[in-house]
A and B are shown apart, each in its own frame.
Chain A
Amino acid sequence: MINRYRASAGIMLAPAVTLIGVFVLLPMLLTVWLSVQDWSTQTPFSSASFIGLDNFREIFGPTSVGRDFKGALANTAIYTALSVILILPLSVVFGLMVYQRDVAGGTALRTVLFATYMVPMIAVALVWSKLYSPSEGPLNQMLGLIGIGPQPWLSSPRSALLSIVFLNVWQQVGYFTVLAIAGLTQIPGSLYEAAKLDGANRREQFRFITLPLLRRTLLFSAVIAIINAVQVFEPVALITQGGPVGSTNVLTYHIRRVGIERAQGGLGSAMAVMLMLSLIVVVCALFALVNRKDDE
């Protein structure tokens, strides 16, 4: 019997394992291998020649290659941090709005919030580029009504990256709100009853029950939000092309430009390896932080 199912397991696993092996794991290993090769993307893999860590020296070096990469790395870090810092608290607040039963309409709110997550990022980028339009856009018009002067949004190096963060938060916050709701449903109502008997007010209940018990959910949300944020591509490719003055040049855009458009496959792969390593470090640090709090 056991052997029969072992054969079945092989058959059941073969399609998925083959596809993921060939189109995800193999390319991942190739990325690592190519990062220490001199290789043009327009030539076969066999034409690659080993150059040690030269690619890494170059992308961290003083030339324009190094400056552009370090800029993209910094922009991506800022973009990711801002996205997470905005998305997590908003998802908890919106999650509580949906979850509470004092005022009707929570489920309708969830529908509206989550609907934006279905919109293709290309359409989001197009629509927001018009919303941000300095003269014909409604955002500056509305700011004018409350006495705030026109903002340059995407056209100034000081605000362009932040403007893209905003449209990202708008698109994604509904998904994280649903995750937060999932976390909230796991908190036993009896805890709040007990806290109330002990005289805890709403603020204390939130601080000492809701927030600590949401920690695992928030860790999961943070990891997903980070992975999503480093993938930002469409608004940059479509609207800003990395500008003005490099202020929105983020890694996904930059790696594609170097590795595909300029066909510098070795350099691009070294950048991709750095992105992967940075993600591993950040995610491990997050887990360590949350686990340490668990021990306290």
Chain B
Amino acid sequence: MTARGFSGSSSWLPRRRPSGRKALLATLMLLVAVASAFPLLWMVLSSLKTPAESMQVPPVWIPGTPSLDAYEKVSGVVNVGRSMWNSLVIASITTAGILLTSMMAGYAFAKYHFPAKSLLFSVLIATMFLPPIVTLIPLYRLVGSIGLNASLAGIIVPNLANAFGIFLMRQFIAGVPDDLIDAARMDGASELLILFKIVAPSVAPAIAALALFAFVYHWNSYLWPLTVLQGNADAYPIVISLSRLLSYNRGAVNTGLVMAGATLAVLPPLLLFVFLQRFFVDSIVGSAIKG
């Protein structure tokens, strides 16, 4: 923390009178924040407009009589409740799986010695840099051949483990003192018990971070569900229902409806972030530095 207080840290701004420099910096920061928040503000404002207001030229910024009509109507077009539930199921189960597999593998890589350990680790970590499209075609066929196409299970099962989780868990579990683990072994605790009762509590913030990352990633994920579901609308997560909303919408332009749907889809990951952002940021910083 001591390094953060030094005065030369904003060294990229030209030298001016201190007060003028500060005012310029504050203005720039405000501009960046406004530009960053604007699209989301526009989304929420648009969702409260009447259809007539949405089509006005030049655009109206603030709805004259804010109404929640669009939120009511959107449920008549796509099954919002069902889609939100599907997204919740997909994101929750996938996250639980990732936590379990990552903690176990991360513990093994951090605390065990076994043959070809670094080779295996390298191979697993390399998959972190593999864009999903590279494996999409055979994966689609593979998941179909084990009978999981067009189902929630088909979305979930291939994602129950990932390299990022293993990497993150190994980084943090490596910092747990060996003495702590050895003491528990002396007491006759099994390895799984040690992992869940001793190791997990000591790396709780990292676990929380991984849980949030995984949940948000799989709530937002689009390419794989779209490919594997083959139009099975009952299993649509909210992001796919949202995209259907637009194609429905092409005929009768109702921007408010689309924006209401978008607001609903954005809300869960954004709320999670607002309340738990400390873990997000810490784990990115942690993984970047330790990596």
Residues on A lying within 8 angstroms of B by beta carbon are: 2, 5-6, 8-13, 15-17, 19-20, 22-28, 30-31, 34, 41, 44-45, 92-94, 96-97, 99-103, 105-106, 108-116, 118-124, 126-128, 130-131, 135-138, 141, 144, 170, 174-175, 178-179, 181-189, 192-193, 195-196, 201-203, 205-206, 209-210, 217, 220, 223, 227, 230-231, 233-234, 237-238, 251-252, 255-256, 259-260, 265, 268-269, 272-273, 275-276, 279, 283
Interface centre among A93, A123, A265 (most CB of B within 10 A): A123
Chain B residues whose C-beta falls within 8 Å of the C-beta of A25 in the assembled complex = 123, 127
Return the chain B residue nearest A176 by Cβ.
B284
- If over half of B's interface residues share one DSSP class (helix, strand or loop), that class is named, otherwise mixed; here it is helix
Q: Smallest CB–CB gap between A90 and chain B, Å? A: 9
Question: Could you list 20 examples of A-B contacts with CB < 8 Å?
Answer: A13-B108, A16-B101, A20-B124, A20-B162, A28-B127, A99-B4, A103-B25, A114-B280, A114-B281, A119-B269, A119-B270, A120-B265, A124-B39, A179-B284, A182-B284, A230-B131, A233-B133, A265-B137, A276-B130, A283-B129
Chain B residues whose C-beta falls within 8 Å of the C-beta of A196 in the assembled complex = 8
Across the interface, do B242 and A121 meet the contact criterion of CB distance under 8 Å? no
Chain B residues whose C-beta falls within 8 Å of the C-beta of A106 in the assembled complex = 29
B34-74 Cβ-contact flags toward A at 8 Å (1 or 0) = 01110110110010000000111111010000000000000
Q: A288 CA to B112 CA in the complex, in Å?
A: 33
Q: Smallest CB–CB gap between B13 and chain A, Å? A: 7
Q: Check if B227 is an interface residue, CB within 8 A of chain A.
A: yes
Residues on B lying within 8 angstroms of A by beta carbon are: 2-15, 21-22, 25-26, 28-29, 32-33, 35-37, 39-40, 42-43, 46, 54-59, 61, 100-102, 104-105, 107-108, 112-114, 120, 123-124, 127, 129-142, 145, 157-163, 166, 191-192, 195, 216, 219-220, 222-223, 226-227, 239-240, 242-243, 246, 255, 258-259, 262, 265-266, 269-270, 272-274, 277, 280-281, 284-285, 288-289, 291
Chain B residues whose C-beta falls within 8 Å of the C-beta of A8 in the assembled complex = 108, 112, 191
Q: A195 CA to B51 CA in the complex, in Å?
A: 60
Which are the 9 A-B pairs with shortest beta-carbon distances? A30-B138, A100-B10, A27-B135, A120-B220, A19-B161, A16-B105, A12-B108, A23-B158, A202-B11
Chain A residues whose C-beta falls within 8 Å of the C-beta of B105 in the assembled complex = 12-13, 15-17
Chain B residues whose C-beta falls within 8 Å of the C-beta of A11 in the assembled complex = 104, 191-192
Chain A residues whose C-beta falls within 8 Å of the C-beta of B113 in the assembled complex = 2, 5
Across the interface, do B25 and A185 meet the contact criterion of CB distance under 8 Å? no
Chain B residues whose C-beta falls within 8 Å of the C-beta of A279 in the assembled complex = 129, 131
Chain B residues whose C-beta falls within 8 Å of the C-beta of A206 in the assembled complex = 11-12
Across the interface, do A217 and B288 meet the contact criterion of CB distance under 8 Å? yes
Q: Smallest CB–CB gap between A177 and chain B, Å? A: 10
Q: A26 CA to B130 CA in the complex, in Å?
A: 13
Chain B residues whose C-beta falls within 8 Å of the C-beta of A144 in the assembled complex = 58
Chain A residues whose C-beta falls within 8 Å of the C-beta of B258 in the assembled complex = 126, 130
Chain A residues whose C-beta falls within 8 Å of the C-beta of B223 in the assembled complex = 231, 233-234, 252, 256
Across the interface, do A210 and B11 meet the contact criterion of CB distance under 8 Å? yes
Chain B residues whose C-beta falls within 8 Å of the C-beta of A27 in the assembled complex = 135, 138-139, 142
Q: Smallest CB–CB gap between B90 and chain A, Å? A: 13
Q: A9 CA to B191 CA in the complex, in Å?
A: 9
Additional A-B contact list (8), CB under 8 Å, known A17-B105, A101-B7: A6-B112, A11-B192, A41-B141, A44-B145, A93-B12, A114-B273, A231-B133, A272-B135
Across the interface, do B42 and A127 meet the contact criterion of CB distance under 8 Å? yes
Q: A160 CA to B98 CA in the complex, in Å?
A: 37
Across the interface, do B135 and A31 meet the contact criterion of CB distance under 8 Å? yes
Across the interface, do B163 and A272 meet the contact criterion of CB distance under 8 Å? no
Across the interface, do A103 and B29 meet the contact criterion of CB distance under 8 Å? yes
Across the interface, do B3 and A256 meet the contact criterion of CB distance under 8 Å? no
Q: A30 CA to B136 CA in the complex, in Å?
A: 10
